Structure 1
Amino acid sequence: MARGSSAQQLAVSAVLVAALLLAAAAPPAVNAAVTCGQVVSMLSPCVRYAMGAVQTPPATCCGGVRSLSAAARSTADRQATCNCLKQQTSGMGGLKPGIVAGIPAKCNVNVPYAISPSTDCSK
Protein backbone atom coordinates (compact mmCIF):
# COMPACT_ATOMS: atom_id res chain seq x y z
CA MET A 1 0.00 0.00 0.00
CA ALA A 2 2.92 2.36 0.60
CA ARG A 3 3.81 1.94 -3.02
CA GLY A 4 0.37 3.10 -4.15
CA SER A 5 0.57 6.07 -1.82
CA SER A 6 3.86 7.15 -3.39
CA ALA A 7 2.42 6.85 -6.87
CA GLN A 8 -0.63 8.83 -5.81
CA GLN A 9 1.51 11.53 -4.24
CA LEU A 10 3.53 11.77 -7.44
CA ALA A 11 0.41 12.10 -9.50
CA VAL A 12 -1.00 14.70 -7.19
CA SER A 13 2.26 16.60 -7.32
CA ALA A 14 2.37 16.62 -11.10
CA VAL A 15 -1.19 17.82 -11.24
CA LEU A 16 -0.32 20.47 -8.72
CA VAL A 17 2.49 21.69 -10.95
CA ALA A 18 -0.07 22.05 -13.67
CA ALA A 19 -2.34 24.00 -11.40
CA LEU A 20 0.51 26.26 -10.35
CA LEU A 21 1.15 27.06 -13.94
CA LEU A 22 -2.53 27.88 -14.34
CA ALA A 23 -2.15 30.73 -11.91
CA ALA A 24 1.12 32.10 -13.30
CA ALA A 25 -0.41 35.14 -14.94
CA ALA A 26 -1.92 36.54 -11.74
CA PRO A 27 -0.66 39.76 -10.12
CA PRO A 28 1.99 39.55 -7.37
CA ALA A 29 1.39 39.67 -3.62
CA VAL A 30 3.59 39.89 -0.57
CA ASN A 31 3.01 36.53 1.20
CA ALA A 32 1.83 33.13 0.01
CA ALA A 33 -1.60 32.20 1.32
CA VAL A 34 -1.84 28.77 -0.34
CA THR A 35 -0.24 25.96 1.64
CA CYS A 36 1.25 22.75 0.25
CA GLY A 37 -1.41 20.80 2.12
CA GLN A 38 -4.13 22.78 0.35
CA VAL A 39 -2.49 22.17 -3.02
CA VAL A 40 -2.34 18.42 -2.42
CA SER A 41 -5.92 18.36 -1.14
CA MET A 42 -7.28 20.30 -4.13
CA LEU A 43 -5.55 18.11 -6.69
CA SER A 44 -5.74 14.67 -5.12
CA PRO A 45 -8.90 13.79 -7.11
CA CYS A 46 -6.76 14.02 -10.28
CA VAL A 47 -4.34 11.23 -9.36
CA ARG A 48 -6.03 8.30 -11.11
CA TYR A 49 -6.51 10.33 -14.27
CA ALA A 50 -2.89 11.58 -14.21
CA MET A 51 -1.73 7.96 -14.05
CA GLY A 52 -3.92 6.94 -16.98
CA ALA A 53 -6.21 4.78 -14.83
CA VAL A 54 -9.38 6.55 -16.01
CA GLN A 55 -10.30 8.06 -19.37
CA THR A 56 -11.44 11.50 -18.24
CA PRO A 57 -10.66 13.67 -15.22
CA PRO A 58 -13.38 13.41 -12.58
CA ALA A 59 -15.50 16.46 -11.88
CA THR A 60 -13.81 16.70 -8.46
CA CYS A 61 -10.43 16.92 -10.21
CA CYS A 62 -11.56 19.78 -12.41
CA GLY A 63 -13.15 21.48 -9.42
CA GLY A 64 -9.83 21.26 -7.61
CA VAL A 65 -7.92 22.66 -10.60
CA ARG A 66 -10.35 25.59 -10.81
CA SER A 67 -10.18 26.19 -7.05
CA LEU A 68 -6.40 26.16 -7.03
CA SER A 69 -6.25 28.47 -10.03
CA ALA A 70 -8.54 30.91 -8.21
CA ALA A 71 -6.65 30.59 -4.90
CA ALA A 72 -3.10 30.93 -6.26
CA ARG A 73 -3.48 34.46 -7.57
CA SER A 74 -0.31 36.06 -6.27
CA THR A 75 3.27 35.45 -7.35
CA ALA A 76 4.05 34.12 -3.86
CA ASP A 77 1.12 31.68 -4.06
CA ARG A 78 2.15 30.46 -7.51
CA GLN A 79 5.76 29.97 -6.40
CA ALA A 80 4.68 28.13 -3.24
CA THR A 81 2.43 25.87 -5.31
CA CYS A 82 5.19 25.18 -7.81
CA ASN A 83 7.70 24.35 -5.07
CA CYS A 84 5.17 22.09 -3.35
CA LEU A 85 4.56 20.18 -6.57
CA LYS A 86 8.23 19.74 -7.27
CA GLN A 87 8.84 18.51 -3.73
CA GLN A 88 5.92 16.09 -3.86
CA THR A 89 6.87 14.64 -7.26
CA SER A 90 10.57 14.26 -6.54
CA GLY A 91 11.58 10.61 -6.90
CA MET A 92 8.08 9.36 -7.69
CA GLY A 93 6.92 7.52 -10.79
CA GLY A 94 3.65 6.54 -12.40
CA LEU A 95 2.49 9.86 -13.83
CA LYS A 96 1.97 10.31 -17.52
CA PRO A 97 3.42 13.76 -18.41
CA GLY A 98 1.25 14.11 -21.51
CA ILE A 99 -1.90 13.50 -19.51
CA VAL A 100 -0.80 15.84 -16.71
CA ALA A 101 -0.04 18.61 -19.20
CA GLY A 102 -3.53 18.27 -20.69
CA ILE A 103 -5.51 18.40 -17.44
CA PRO A 104 -6.19 22.16 -17.56
CA ALA A 105 -7.59 21.92 -21.09
CA LYS A 106 -9.68 18.87 -20.16
CA CYS A 107 -11.05 20.92 -17.26
CA ASN A 108 -11.69 23.96 -19.47
CA VAL A 109 -9.09 26.06 -17.67
CA ASN A 110 -6.94 28.17 -19.99
CA VAL A 111 -3.18 28.00 -19.45
CA PRO A 112 -1.07 30.06 -21.90
CA TYR A 113 2.14 28.04 -21.37
CA ALA A 114 3.35 24.45 -21.27
CA ILE A 115 3.02 22.50 -18.04
CA SER A 116 6.26 20.76 -17.23
CA PRO A 117 8.17 19.48 -14.18
CA SER A 118 11.15 21.48 -15.43
CA THR A 119 9.35 24.77 -14.78
CA ASP A 120 11.50 27.29 -12.91
CA CYS A 121 9.41 28.14 -9.83
CA SER A 122 11.25 31.43 -9.34
CA LYS A 123 9.90 32.91 -12.58
Structure 2
Amino acid sequence: MAGLKLVCGLVLFMSVVEPMGTAALSCGDVVSQTAACIGYMQSRGGNRPPSGCCNGVRNLNRLARTTRDRQTVCRCLQTAAKAFSGINYGLVESLPARCGVRVPLKINPSTDCNRVR
Protein backbone atom coordinates (compact mmCIF):
# COMPACT_ATOMS: atom_id res chain seq x y z
CA MET A 1 0.00 0.00 0.00
CA ALA A 2 2.85 2.40 0.78
CA GLY A 3 4.34 1.68 -2.67
CA LEU A 4 1.03 2.54 -4.33
CA LYS A 5 0.83 5.82 -2.40
CA LEU A 6 4.38 6.66 -3.47
CA VAL A 7 3.61 5.93 -7.12
CA CYS A 8 0.44 8.06 -6.95
CA GLY A 9 2.38 10.87 -5.32
CA LEU A 10 5.11 10.62 -7.94
CA VAL A 11 2.55 10.70 -10.78
CA LEU A 12 0.97 13.81 -9.25
CA PHE A 13 4.36 15.44 -8.78
CA MET A 14 5.43 14.70 -12.34
CA SER A 15 2.19 16.00 -13.79
CA VAL A 16 2.82 19.32 -12.05
CA VAL A 17 6.53 19.49 -12.89
CA GLU A 18 6.21 18.54 -16.56
CA PRO A 19 4.84 21.61 -18.34
CA MET A 20 1.86 21.05 -20.59
CA GLY A 21 2.68 20.85 -24.28
CA THR A 22 6.45 20.44 -23.97
CA ALA A 23 6.42 16.79 -24.94
CA ALA A 24 3.89 14.37 -26.30
CA LEU A 25 4.87 12.00 -23.51
CA SER A 26 4.74 13.14 -19.87
CA CYS A 27 6.48 11.88 -16.76
CA GLY A 28 3.08 10.81 -15.52
CA ASP A 29 2.78 8.57 -18.59
CA VAL A 30 6.22 7.09 -17.93
CA VAL A 31 5.49 6.39 -14.28
CA SER A 32 2.09 4.87 -14.96
CA GLN A 33 3.51 2.59 -17.67
CA THR A 34 6.35 1.36 -15.45
CA ALA A 35 4.62 1.21 -12.03
CA ALA A 36 4.13 -2.57 -12.30
CA CYS A 37 7.91 -2.95 -12.62
CA ILE A 38 8.87 -1.44 -9.26
CA GLY A 39 8.92 -4.66 -7.24
CA TYR A 40 10.91 -6.42 -9.94
CA MET A 41 13.44 -3.57 -10.12
CA GLN A 42 13.87 -3.76 -6.34
CA SER A 43 14.71 -7.48 -6.65
CA ARG A 44 11.38 -8.44 -5.08
CA GLY A 45 9.72 -9.68 -8.25
CA GLY A 46 11.49 -12.96 -8.85
CA ASN A 47 13.60 -13.66 -11.90
CA ARG A 48 10.98 -12.63 -14.47
CA PRO A 49 9.25 -9.28 -14.77
CA PRO A 50 5.47 -9.46 -14.28
CA SER A 51 3.32 -9.37 -17.43
CA GLY A 52 1.88 -5.97 -16.45
CA CYS A 53 5.41 -4.62 -16.28
CA CYS A 54 6.31 -5.91 -19.74
CA ASN A 55 3.04 -4.59 -21.17
CA GLY A 56 3.91 -1.16 -19.79
CA VAL A 57 7.47 -1.33 -21.13
CA ARG A 58 6.17 -2.26 -24.59
CA ASN A 59 3.55 0.51 -24.49
CA LEU A 60 6.13 3.05 -23.38
CA ASN A 61 8.47 2.00 -26.18
CA ARG A 62 5.63 2.40 -28.67
CA LEU A 63 4.69 5.84 -27.30
CA ALA A 64 8.26 7.22 -27.29
CA ARG A 65 8.40 8.06 -31.00
CA THR A 66 10.46 11.24 -31.07
CA THR A 67 13.85 12.22 -29.68
CA ARG A 68 12.09 14.55 -27.25
CA ASP A 69 9.85 11.69 -26.05
CA ARG A 70 12.83 9.37 -25.52
CA GLN A 71 14.69 12.10 -23.61
CA THR A 72 11.58 12.63 -21.47
CA VAL A 73 11.44 8.90 -20.74
CA CYS A 74 15.13 8.89 -19.80
CA ARG A 75 14.81 11.85 -17.42
CA CYS A 76 11.63 10.59 -15.84
CA LEU A 77 13.04 7.11 -15.24
CA GLN A 78 16.11 8.62 -13.61
CA THR A 79 13.96 10.84 -11.36
CA ALA A 80 11.57 8.02 -10.49
CA ALA A 81 14.44 5.65 -9.64
CA LYS A 82 15.73 8.16 -7.09
CA ALA A 83 12.34 8.10 -5.35
CA PHE A 84 12.56 4.36 -4.63
CA SER A 85 15.12 2.66 -2.45
CA GLY A 86 16.84 -0.55 -3.40
CA ILE A 87 16.66 -0.22 -7.19
CA ASN A 88 18.84 -2.87 -8.84
CA TYR A 89 20.13 -1.16 -11.99
CA GLY A 90 21.28 -4.47 -13.46
CA LEU A 91 17.64 -5.57 -13.49
CA VAL A 92 16.56 -2.17 -14.83
CA GLU A 93 19.03 -2.38 -17.72
CA SER A 94 17.95 -5.92 -18.59
CA LEU A 95 14.22 -5.12 -18.37
CA PRO A 96 13.65 -4.12 -22.02
CA ALA A 97 15.33 -7.28 -23.34
CA ARG A 98 13.45 -9.47 -20.85
CA CYS A 99 10.23 -7.91 -22.16
CA GLY A 100 11.23 -8.37 -25.82
CA VAL A 101 11.86 -4.69 -26.50
CA ARG A 102 14.91 -3.00 -28.01
CA VAL A 103 15.59 0.50 -26.72
CA PRO A 104 18.19 2.98 -28.02
CA LEU A 105 19.55 3.87 -24.57
CA LYS A 106 21.16 2.35 -21.53
CA ILE A 107 18.84 2.84 -18.59
CA ASN A 108 20.90 3.90 -15.57
CA PRO A 109 21.60 7.00 -13.47
CA SER A 110 24.76 7.92 -15.43
CA THR A 111 23.04 8.09 -18.84
CA ASP A 112 23.22 11.59 -20.33
CA CYS A 113 19.60 12.01 -21.40
CA ASN A 114 20.53 14.93 -23.66
CA ARG A 115 22.46 12.50 -25.86
CA VAL A 116 19.53 10.12 -26.30
CA ARG A 117 18.24 10.19 -29.88
Q: Sort the TM-score into its range (normalised by shorter chain).
A: 0.7 to 0.9
| 2:20 corresponds to 1:44 | no
- Larger mean CA deviation between 104-113 and 32-41 belongs to 104-113
Partner of 1:66: 58
- 5+ long unaligned stretches in structure 2: 11-21
Q: Could you tell me which of 80, 86, 111 is aligned with 1:88?
A: 80
Q: Distance in 2 between matches of 1:106 and 1:34?
A: 23
Say whether residues 1:54 and 2:56 are aligned partners: no
Residue 118 (str. 1) matches residue 117 (str. 2): no
Deviations 1:79-122, CA, capped at 9 Å, x for gaps: 11112222222364211111111111110112355332111111
Cα 1:57–1:37 shift into 2, 3 Å: same
Matched residues, percent identical?
44
The corresponding residue for 2:26 is 35
Unaligned runs of 5+ in 1: 13-30
How many angstroms apart in 2 are the aligned matches of 1:45 and 1:79? 21
Q: How many residues align?
A: 101
